[in-house]
Each structure stands twice: as structure tokens, then as C-alpha cells.
């Protein structure tokens, strides 16, 4: 998830070929990236969309894990791990949303 | 290195440690059962080496299940305790040995939990305003 | 099945078997001098216990069980005590085949195993508590 933010920063856009191997390596290790080879970055809208989807996915995973945990099908630690992961991605999504909303309000207040 | 990999590794170690705790509990409970040979698990490093690639989650309902790790973690016959060896009854459980294993497990698990807790807290902290 | 939950059950079975063992030992000790009632009658015969292990289908763990209770077929000891109701015509009374030293050693062992199982249960509980504590990490 944080890789996606890096990839979209202005610096990331201009780094180009030199950083392909590093980003590709990071993405190979990170299971969250569904597609590889996005070293040159995605648009901000796509990042936002991905992040929200991922947050929702992790939250659903946390809920499913909680159900299974209550029924006694999986171990306690796995439930805890899933819930923590859901919490992390939710916080990330919220932080990003707050920044976007603040930025948007700033823009609307700009004098033309 | 993103902390995501730490959580991953910590989860796997926690899984391994709980399997080991079960094996040690079984040894201790069966310390007087005739013909019962003490068991142990394959070392964690060996488990790590055997599965470098983690399963990707493609479905929101799909979770890692501990049976995945149980396939990798083998329960093997434990090395014989030198002082006790195999007793007349065919039992090879040394309680002292098993208790020191529980000490090890506890130390490793508490370190694991403490690290995960700290990194989780740190990640949330970076996201606060 | 959660290995930690299985561990609780397994250690629990260990506690059960060891306390059954202690019960047999205390029966033996209590009846170490119990003779028969009539002349020439047999006295208390020492009891024994055999353990086994059993696979528990629900948790997949190997529980400790008591396989069977038995008796010790060794010879009775004999004492000369003509006044005793169980004395035969020569005045010999058959005494139980219970050796106090053996029983005391068995009791110590049973205690030790019981303690070990208890410690293991405590530790498993602590591991579970440490896991749940992770969720209390934030805020």
C-alpha cells in the first residue's frame, strides 16, 4: 500500500527506468500488489481506488476471520492478525481521505 | 523493508511456536505412557527455507489457515535426552528437557507479540495527524 | 484446530491421569497394613495403574489416558502375629504386598508430573493472553 503512494509521488514519476528493479523487487515481496511492473506509478485516482478496495478487502477478511474465530475454526492468533491488518489499512485509508478532503476544501476556497 | 513483511514472518513464527507448544504439552502429558517416544518439531529456519513464497490473497474471504503451516511443520521424533534415554517402559520423555523447551517457547512468543504490538502501534502513529 | 486450545486439553488430560495415579498410590498407602478378617485370609492386594495415549478426534491431539487398573501379583509378605484375627494355626499373618518406599517414590513422581502439566497449562494460558493483548495495542 505504501509502495503505491511512493510510486505516485512526483519524484517517482521522474525516476523511471533506474528504479524499476527496486520497485519490482518490492512488489514481488509485497502480496498486496495484484499486478507487478507498475514502477512508473499510477494516477492518483487509481491509487485512491486501490487503497479503498484494499481497505474494504482487509476489513472483510477481518470480519470473516472473526466469524471463523468465534466458531472455533481458526486459531486466535490468526483472528488477531487479520483484525490488526484491517485496522492498519482502515487507518491508512482514513488518513488519506482526510488529506484529500482538506486539499479539496482548500482548492474550493482559492480565489480565482 | 515494509513492516508488512515483519507481520508476515511474525505470524508464521507464532504458528510454529503454537504447534511446538502443543507437541511439548503432549510430551509432558504422556510422560508416563509406555512406549511413547518424545516428539519435537522441525526447526523454524528449516520451515522458512522450505516455503519462500507466500500465498497471495485473491479473495476477501480467503484467509491463511494454520493447516497450511502444519503441512510444512513436521512433528519428528525428538533427540534422546542423554540423561534419561529410553526407559524400560519404552518411554523417552525427560520432564526437565520439556520444561526448558516451554521456557524457550514462552520467550520467543513474548518477543514475537511485543514486536508485533510495537510495529502495529508505530504504523498507526505515523498515520495520525 | 488451534494448537494452543488443543494444548490446554492435552495438559488437562495429563492432570487427570496423574491425579488418578495419586489416588491409587494413596489407596495403597492407606491399606498398607490392612489384613484379612478370617484366619489365613488374603490381605489387601496392591493396586497398579497403566497409562495409555489416545488420539482425540476433535482437536487432533494425543491425550493421556488411564488404560487399565490392575493388581500387583507379587507375593504377600508374612509376619508372625498370633493375636491377629487373620493369623493361621502357626500364628503367621499375611501382610499386603505394599512397599512404602516404592509408594512414596511413586507419589513424588506423580506430584512432579502433575506440577509439570500444571505449569504447561499456565503457560498456554499466558500465550493466549499475550495474543489477545495485541488487540489492545492501539489507542
Question: What ranges do the domains of chain B cover?
Answer: 3-127
Sorted by where each begins, the domain ranges of chain C are: 3-136
Q: Measured between CB atoms, which of B60, B62, B66 is closest to A75? A: B66
Is B5 close to A29, i.e. CB distance below 8 A? yes
pLDDT of residue C6: 93
Question: How many other CB atoms are found less than 10 A from the CB of residue A48?
Answer: 17
pLDDT of residue C72: 92
Sorted by where each begins, the domain ranges of chain A are: 1-41, 43-112
Least confident range of A22-31, A59-68, A95-104? A22-31
Exposure string for B8-44, b = 16+ CB within 10 A, e = fewer: bebbbbbbbbbbbbbbbbbbbbbbbbeebebbbbbee
For residue C68, the cross-strand partners are: C50
Alpha-carbon gap, residue A43 to A48, rounded angstroms: 9
Least confident range of A21-30, A55-64, C2-11, C43-52? A21-30
Residue B90 DSSP label: S
Is C134 close to A84, i.e. CB distance below 8 A? yes
At B117, the pLDDT band (50, 70, 90 cuts) reads: very high
Q: CB under 8 Å to A33, separation ≥6 — which residues? A: A3, A4, A27
Query: Quick check: C139 pLDDT over 80?
Result: no
Is B28 close to C52, i.e. CB distance below 8 A? no
At B64, the pLDDT band (50, 70, 90 cuts) reads: very low
Dihedral of alpha carbons A72, A76, A78, A82, sign: positive
User: Chain B window 7-46: which residues touch C at a Cβ cutoff of 8 Å?
Assistant: 14, 17-19, 21-22, 24-26, 28-34, 36
Calculate how close chain A gets to B1, using CA atoms only, in Å. 8
Alpha-carbon gap, residue C17 to C12, rounded angstroms: 9
pLDDT of residue B20: 94
At B72, the pLDDT band (50, 70, 90 cuts) reads: low
Q: pTM for this one?
A: 0.78
Q: Which of A57, A14, A60 is nearest to A32 (CA)?
A: A57
Calculate how close chain A gets to B71, using CA atoms only, in Å. 15
pLDDT of residue A37: 45
Is C120 close to B34, i.e. CB distance below 8 A? no
pLDDT of residue C14: 95
Higher pLDDT, C83 or B76: C83
Closest residue in B to A96 (Cα) is B127
Is C131 close to A72, i.e. CB distance below 8 A? no
pLDDT of residue C46: 94
Q: Measured between CB atoms, which of C3, C128, C135 is closest to A83? A: C135
Query: Quick check: A9 pLDDT over 50?
Result: no
Least confident range of B22-36, B64-78, B113-127? B64-78
pLDDT of residue A97: 87
Q: Which of A88, C128, A85 is nearest to B113 (CA)?
A: C128
pLDDT of residue C50: 93
Higher pLDDT, A94 or A12: A94
Amino acid at each position: 500500500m505504501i509502495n503505491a503512494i511512493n510510486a505516485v509521488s512526483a519524484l517517482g514519476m521522474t525516476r523511471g527506468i533506474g528504479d524499476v528493479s527496486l520497485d519490482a523487487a518490492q512488489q514481488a515481496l509485497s502480496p498486496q500488489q495484484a499486478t507487478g511492473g507498475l514502477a512508473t506509478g499510477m494516477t492518483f485516482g487509481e491509487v485512491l481506488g486501490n487503497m479503498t478496495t484494499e481497505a474494504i478487502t482487509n476489513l472483510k477478511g477481518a470480519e470473516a476471520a472473526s466469524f471463523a474465530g468465534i466458531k472455533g475454526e481458526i486459531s486466535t492468533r490468526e483472528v488477531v492478525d487479520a483484525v490488526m491488518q484491517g485496522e492498519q489499512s482502515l487507518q491508512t485509508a482514513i488518513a488519506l481521505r482526510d488529506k484529500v478532503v482538506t486539499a479539496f476544501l482548500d482548492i474550493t476556497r482559492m480565489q480565482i | 523493508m515494509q513492516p508488512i513483511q515483519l507481520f508476515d514472518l511474525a505470524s508464521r513464527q507464532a504458528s510454529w511456536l503454537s504447534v511446538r507448544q502443543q507437541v511439548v504439552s503432549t510430551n509432558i502429558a504422556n510422560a508416563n505412557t509406555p512406549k511413547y517416544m518424545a516428539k519435537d518439531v522441525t526447526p523454524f529456519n528449516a520451515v522458512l527455507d522450505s516455503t519462500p513464497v507466500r500465498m497471495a490473497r485473491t479473495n476477501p474471504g480467503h484467509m491463511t489457515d494454520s493447516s497450511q503451516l502444519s503441512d510444512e511443520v513436521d512433528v519428528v521424533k525428538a533427540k534422546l535426552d542423554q540423561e534419561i534415554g529410553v526407559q524400560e517402559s519404552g518411554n523417552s520423555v525427560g520432564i526437565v528437557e520439556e520444561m526448558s523447551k516451554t521456557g524457550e517457547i514462552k520467550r520467543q512468543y513474548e518477543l514475537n507479540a511485543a514486536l508485533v504490538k510495537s510495529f502495529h502501534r508505530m504504523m498507526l502513529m505515523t498515520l495520525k495527524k | 484446530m488451534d494448537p494452543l486450545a488443543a494444548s490446554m486439553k492435552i495438559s488437562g488430560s495429563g492432570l487427570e491421569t496423574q491425579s488418578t495415579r495419586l489416588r491409587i498410590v494413596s489407596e495403597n498407602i492407606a491399606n498398607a497394613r490392612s489384613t484379612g478378617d478370617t484366619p489365613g485370609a488374603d490381605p489387601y492386594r496392591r493396586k497398579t495403574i497403566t497409562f495409555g495415549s489416545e488420539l482425540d478426534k476433535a482437536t487432533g491431539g494425543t491425550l493421556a489416558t488411564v488404560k487399565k487398573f490392575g493388581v500387583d501379583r507379587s507375593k504377600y509378605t508374612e509376619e508372625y502375629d498370633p493375636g491377629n484375627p487373620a493369623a493361621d494355626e502357626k500364628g503367621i499373618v499375611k501382610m499386603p504386598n505394599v512397599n512404602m518406599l516404592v509408594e512414596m517414590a511413586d507419589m513424588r513422581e506423580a506430584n512432579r508430573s502433575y506440577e509439570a502439566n500444571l505449569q504447561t497449562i499456565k503457560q498456554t494460558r499466558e500465550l493466549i493472553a499475550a495474543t489477545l493483548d495485541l488487540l489492545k495495542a492501539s489507542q
